[in-house]
A and B are shown apart, each in its own frame.
Chain A
Amino acid sequence: MSILDTIYAKAKQNPQKVAFPEAANEKMMQAAFEAGRDGYIYPVLVGNAEELRALAAERGYDPAVFSFVDIADEEYKQKIIAAYVALEDTHLKEKALARRMQNPLYYAMAMQKVGEVAVTFAGIDNTTGDVLLAGQMMIGLKPNISTVSSIGLCDIPGFEGSEGSLLAIGDSAVCTNPNPEQLADIGISACETVESLLGWEPRCAFVCYSTLGSGQGELIDKVTEAVRIAQEKRPDLAIDGEFQFDAAISPAVAAKKVKRESKVAGKANVVIWPDLNVGNVGVKLIQQFGHADAYGPMLQGFNSVVCDCSRGAPVSEIKGNIIISAVRAANMK
């Protein structure tokens, strides 16, 4: 069973309500419909309900698969606003919130924040920046997490790592040049993401061009400081470094280069890059030379799951990311 099959099976066992604020988009509506029809989620379409119903009928989708939330429904909106402003960790008050909720993206995230849906899925009409800003404003970051970041899940043919052919890597998409504290938070968030999505016991390696002092310089200092901060913040997690990439994932290399006890060296299932240059090049190398499938980016650091899908993504990929998000959300509850 492939990793996606395993995740799909988990989704079917416990389908979650997923809000779609861009449901008028044809690809998004199709992905929402297929994921709902196949029993992975309960799709909730947020926007102009009359228009969305008409579009669903026109496109030949059984409307019974969807539920519709009309953003002009004042009674329901007031219910969401009252619940939202009563929460301690929210910023916006009634008037400002009502204004923001004229935008379906913010409306859906307000629903998510108060528990009406488990997750909001967007990013096909809105930009990544729009989704990240709305997520920070409406959902908020987890306590003690200073940055939004992402991980990707790579399925690498022929790779025999501690989780078979799978390896989680981050951040290859969002946080450009993290400082040591942000880098530490990326690692901590990544551990939580793989736990919630895959049920792994995370073993997280911070990588750079040095293994435990074999090299010196400011690029390495940032990574060693990040490891120190991450270990101090979350001593319960297996986080270690600094390691070179091979020392992180290869037991043979780790045996030569890591001359002390480590729960992570040689058997890391989560690899944290020092910055986005390395992360982006790294994931491209894995895809091009390793012929890997890379799933994601999965956004992390938020109080609950926030998703962004690529605007060029085909329906099959959007559907896969919807289901991954739903499983993450179910396991974070």
Chain B
Amino acid sequence: MDRAELEQKILELVAISYKKNAEDLSLETSFKNDLGGASVQMVALVAEIENETDACVTLQDAAACETIGDLVDLVENEL
């Protein structure tokens, strides 16, 4: 999976986990300020990432990401 495909995949998974439209999300979208996420959604997101990409990111590391772009970087490092 190249970087562009990974970005698209993570955006899709964030949209599913946070129940948003993927078109409304970008790599600059902030988890805290734009998605207002509780830990429940982040748990679902980490599981989806593991299911779909085989990257085993920890919840702590994922929760430390400010933006979706940061999360893509994290997953890319795990792959």
A219 interface residue (CB < 8 Å to B): no
Once bound together, how far apart are the Cα atoms of A147 and B60, in whole Å? 15
A231 interface residue (CB < 8 Å to B): no
Once bound together, how far apart are the Cα atoms of A91 and B47, in whole Å? 6
Once bound together, how far apart are the Cα atoms of A136 and B43, in whole Å? 7
Q: Is the CB of A133 within 8 A of B59?
A: yes
User: A99 to chain B: which residues have CB within 8 Å?
Assistant: 50, 56
Q: Is the CB of A96 within 8 A of B40?
A: no
User: A129 to chain B: which residues have CB within 8 Å?
Assistant: 60
A92 interface residue (CB < 8 Å to B): yes
Q: Is the CB of A147 within 8 A of B59?
A: no
Once bound together, how far apart are the Cα atoms of A91 and B48, in whole Å? 7
Q: Is the CB of B43 within 8 A of A95?
A: no
User: A197 to chain B: which residues have CB within 8 Å?
Assistant: none
A146-B38, A147-B38 are known contacts. Are A137 and B51 too (CB-CB below 8 A)?
Answer: no
How many A residues are at the interface, by size bracket?
10 to 19
Q: Is the CB of A137 within 8 A of B54?
A: no
Q: Is the CB of B56 within 8 A of A137?
A: no
Interface string of B28-65 (1 = CB under 8 A from A): 00000000001110011011101100101011100000
A55 interface residue (CB < 8 Å to B): no
Q: Is the CB of B40 within 8 A of A136?
A: yes
Q: Is the CB of B51 within 8 A of A95?
A: yes
Once bound together, how far apart are the Cα atoms of A32 and B70, in whole Å? 43
User: B44 to chain A: which residues have CB within 8 Å?
Assistant: 91
User: A92 to chain B: which residues have CB within 8 Å?
Assistant: 47, 50-51
Interface string of A136-178 (1 = CB under 8 A from B): 1100110000111000000000000000000000000000000
User: A148 to chain B: which residues have CB within 8 Å?
Assistant: 39
Once bound together, how far apart are the Cα atoms of A92 and B58, in whole Å? 14
A263 interface residue (CB < 8 Å to B): no
Q: Is the CB of B51 within 8 A of A141?
A: no
Least CB distance, B79 to chain A, in whole angstroms: 14
A233 interface residue (CB < 8 Å to B): no
A79 interface residue (CB < 8 Å to B): no
Once bound together, how far apart are the Cα atoms of A92 and B51, in whole Å? 6
User: B59 to chain A: which residues have CB within 8 Å?
Assistant: 133, 136-137
Nearest-CB residue, chain A, relative to B38: A146
Nearest-CB residue, chain B, relative to A136: B43
Once bound together, how far apart are the Cα atoms of A89 and B44, in whole Å? 10
Q: Is the CB of A146 within 8 A of B51?
A: no
Q: Is the CB of A96 within 8 A of B39?
A: no
User: B43 to chain A: which residues have CB within 8 Å?
Assistant: 91, 136-137, 140
20 A-B pairs within 8 Å (CB atoms) are namely A91-B43, A91-B44, A91-B47, A93-B51, A95-B51, A95-B54, A96-B50, A96-B54, A96-B56, A99-B50, A99-B56, A129-B60, A133-B59, A136-B40, A136-B59, A137-B43, A137-B59, A140-B43, A146-B38, A148-B39
9 nearest A-B pairs in the assembled complex, by CB-CB distance: A91-B47, A96-B50, A93-B51, A136-B43, A146-B38, A133-B59, A96-B51, A92-B47, A91-B44
By a beta-carbon cutoff of 8 Å, the part of chain B in contact with chain A is 38-40, 43-44, 46-48, 50-51, 54, 56, 58-60
